[in-house]
Amino acid sequence: MIANEQQLDGLLSEPSDNDVRAMSELEGDLLILGVAGKMGPSLAKRAVRAAKRASLKKRIIGVARFSDPAIRQELEKAGIETISADLLESGSVAKLPDAQNVLYMAARKFGSTGAEYLTWAMNTLLPALVAERFAGSRIVAFSTGNVYPLVPVTQSGATEATPVEPVGEYAQSVLGRERMFEYFSRKNGTPVMLLRLNYAIDLRYGVLLDIGQKVFERRPIDLSMGHVNVIWQGDANSVALRSFKLSQSPPAVLNITGPETVSVRWLARRFGERFGIEPTLEGTEAATALLSNAGRCHTIFGYPSVTVEQMIDWVADWIAMGGSTLAKPTHFETRDGRF
């Protein structure tokens, strides 16, 4: 059982031996753009802890708007240098310090419908500015499995070779992000790795929290997107830190998720068993879903360290004890791409 946020953050930021080795082999400092999001703080702390364990004097620099000052204070206390900046403001990207390694996490998803212009600016214009500014760096950029089409649930998910076919403007704008990094990578020879992630799990957000809360609160669960992939956020962060060595020009692409195609119906019933509540299920499973095959990732980096069953246990305990959440539903059940 994970008893509190301090323990959770410690677990998410605990570097593996492979993380320590990767940081020791990574030449130069690390600049993380969009560090204040859901995954950024624990990833930055993991990088700092890995560098310290390797006895390295390496700058870890985190950039964000820091609308919540507490996150900035938390990062600085952990040893991360911080820069407050709205990267869409004219000249902001140009003022950033040089760094040999850039981890791109800046993104916009929720709220896209009705403000598509901002989503496109954040997801496509900003990557172009960053790619040109850091033409001489290595770049690892987060993308999403949403760039793939919905695929038959019987076919093990989309691989990196599956033709992209994004549904909705959010996913289209993320493909725009990839294309901007590709353009500048080809133009300038910048080594880039594009990480197509779905879905990262923390106890404070994620698909499992969404489903578990609905069971606990006796709210109906929509089965139309009947299958999902999930991965522990700490494992996703580990892959990100270890991916710099795989960056190349033109960009490399890697799916990041867990190895299982997980049934939403099964997840609801597992939470129901934990809570002693019969889940309310609505609709039927469609023949297709947003699914990725991360077999290549697992071949390179190994299987995730945290299993689906372990995540279910942790999330169920968290919900039952009233643990805090980010109040940011994933909307995993969305099939039309409107976020």
* pLDDT per residue as tens digits for the range 292-325: 999 999 999 999 999 999 999 999 999 999 999 9
> What values do phi and psi take at 142, rounded to 5?
-75, 135
237 in a domain, yes or no?
yes
Q: Structurally, how many domains does the chain consist of?
A: 1
Banded model confidence at residue 95, pLDDT cuts 50, 70, 90: very high
> How big is the CA angle at 255 (ends 251 and 261), to the nearest 5 degrees?
165
Mean pLDDT of the chain: 96
163 in a domain, yes or no?
yes
318 in a domain, yes or no?
no
Q: Tell me: pLDDT of 49 over 90.
A: yes
The conformation of residue 146, written as its DSSP 8-state character, comes to G
SS3 33: strand
Angle, to 10 degrees, between the axis of helix 17-25 and the axis of helix 233-242?
A: 30
Residues 6+ apart with CB under 8 A from 108: 118, 119, 122, 123
99 in a domain, yes or no?
yes
pLDDT of residue 338: 85
107 in a domain, yes or no?
yes
Q: Tell me: pLDDT of 53 over 80.
A: yes
Q: What is the mean pLDDT of residues 214-240?
A: 98
By mean pLDDT, which of 56-60, 128-132, 211-215, 334-338 is the weakest?
A: 334-338
Helix locations, the chain, DSSP H: 5-12, 17-25, 40-53, 69-77, 116-120, 126-133, 168-188, 207-216, 233-242, 264-275, 295-301, 308-320
pLDDT of residue 115: 85
Percent of the chain with pLDDT over 90: 95
160 in a domain, yes or no?
yes
Q: Tell me: pLDDT of 110 over 80.
A: no
CA distance 228 to 172: 20
Banded model confidence at residue 109, pLDDT cuts 50, 70, 90: confident
pLDDT of residue 202: 96
pTM of the model: 0.96
Domain span holding position 152: 5-202+231-258+291-301
Q: Tell me: pLDDT of 67 over 80.
A: yes
pLDDT of residue 337: 84
224 in a domain, yes or no?
no
Banded model confidence at residue 108, pLDDT cuts 50, 70, 90: confident
CA distance 190 to 181: 9
Q: Tell me: pLDDT of 111 over 80.
A: no
213 in a domain, yes or no?
no
pLDDT of residue 1: 87
CA distance 252 to 26: 18
CA 176 to chain centre: 18
Q: For position 172, which CATH number holds?
A: 3.40.50.720
